[in-house]
Amino acid sequence: MSVDGIHLILSPIGDNSQGTGAHYAWWKVLSGRIVQYGRDSDVLAASGFTQGAEPDRVTLLLSNDDAAVRIHRFADITPQQAIAAAQAEALSAAIDADDDLHSAAALFEHSSAAIAAVSAVVRKSVLQTRLAQLQDMGLTPDYVVPAATLMPLPDSGYAYFALADHNYLLGQDLAAADDRALRQALLIDQEPELLDEDRVHAALSDLPSAHLPNLRHGAFVKQMSNAYMTPVRAKWLAGMAAALLIITLLIPAVRLWIYSSAEDAAISAVLTKVQADFPAATDLGTARNLVDDTLARRGAGASIFSVPAAALLRALEESKGIVLQDLAYQPGGVIAARINAENTENVRLFMENLQINQGFTLTCQQCDQPGQTVFDITVRG
């Protein structure tokens, strides 16, 4: 997958034994193709960049002098387990295994029957040195991958390619530095296939690839720089934040307007119906007063008795042998009454009617009046 924008790829060359500074081979990729390449100590200037106007993406390729590469094949495990196992195998197989090693792994073949992974191991001190060299040049790589994994492995036989000052030999389970002793041991009389510059450039143009182990993780993950927050980006983010705030405030305002409109429509509809019988009603308050006055003149409605009092009187009408002696209002809408009954059974039926059938809360206490069955009761809604 080619990268949109400008992509700079670097590979260290030489041993810097003369103290002239780090030298790198570099390739400049624009819109998925290499447009410029060279070898310089000041890569930014040579490739046409300046401080503050760096490339969109930077990849550092490590030679086999810096990073060791191994191929791993597994069966009956998940891809995540394969990556973890490859890293563990790579670290355990390192000649000088210690806490100074850093590893990465990636899958390059995956089927239902088998999984193939490639791993890379580098000394932390070496990686720190490379990253410091690039930082001195004004560059911060997004990816750090071994150069030996750049080209796909051959399906059969062997292949080799050159990158900067390094040659690499590839086999079905091999990605290593190409040297005479290794060729004699593995190839005997075979001649490996040459992967020419065009194919190498095509692979470089396709960086970064998910099939390459990226050492830029863990303690070496790229830190976000304040330089990322350019004035243009800051202005765009501020605009987005302002738009989000406006939308957040508009949502409840629109809902409130909808509810208010619905309430106004409902009130208007009620008034229209009430004004058919009470033309003098101009709002809900006057309509309520007109209705209460009319009901009072008819001897009905809440203006004559409260709901508990009306329920009490209705229950008395439905009961036998009970007479109301006194009725009074108490604070909180409680009705206090004294009743006289022929017998306690009539009182029990009266109480059940109010409490069970009509749902009111009652208290009942018999009064000490000889020769009479008198009770003081309270009724609460």
For residues 9 and 143, the answer to whether their CB atoms sit within 8 Å is no
- Specify the amino acid at residue 22: A
Indicate whether 22 and 109 sit together in one domain.
yes
Band of the pLDDT at 225, cuts 50, 70, 90?
low
Do 256 and 316 lie in a common domain?
Answer: no
Q: Which contiguous run of DSSP H or E holds residue 330?
A: strand 322-330
Position 19 scores a pLDDT of: 42
Q: Give mean pLDDT, residues 86-106.
A: 81
282 and 312 co-located in one domain: no
Q: Per-residue pLDDT for 315 more than 90?
A: no
Q: Are residues 257 and 327 in the same domain?
A: no
For residue 39, which of 159, 166, 216 has the smallest C-alpha distance? 166
| Domain residue limits at 244 | 233-291
- pTM (2 d.p.): 0.55
Q: In this model, does residue 4 exceed pLDDT 50?
A: no
Answer whether residue 161 is part of any domain.
Answer: yes
Number of domains in the chain: 3
**Per-residue pLDDT at 146:** 92
Specify if 266 maps to a domain: yes
Residue 85 has pLDDT above 60, yes or no: yes
Give the confidence band of 196 by pLDDT, cuts at 50, 70, 90.
Answer: very high
pLDDT tens digits for range 241-264? 988 889 988 888 888 888 788 777
Q: What is the mean pLDDT of the chain?
A: 80
**Average pLDDT of the segment spanning 322-329:** 82
> Do 365 and 219 share a domain, yes or no?
no
Does the pLDDT of residue 69 top 70, yes or no?
yes
- pLDDT tens per residue across span 135-165: 888 888 889 999 988 898 888 889 999 988 8
Q: Are residues 117 and 21 in the same domain?
A: yes
Q: What are the residue ranges of helices labelled H in the chain?
A: 43-46, 79-93, 124-136, 180-186, 197-205, 231-277, 284-298, 307-318, 344-352
Measured CA to CA, the distance from residue 359 to residue 51 in angstroms comes to: 83
Is residue 62 located within the same domain as residue 171?
yes
Query: Looking at the domain assignment, is residue 126 inside a domain?
Result: yes
Q: What is the DSSP letter of 353?
A: I
On whether both 160 and 241 belong to a single domain, the answer is no
Predicted local confidence at residue 194, as pLDDT: 92
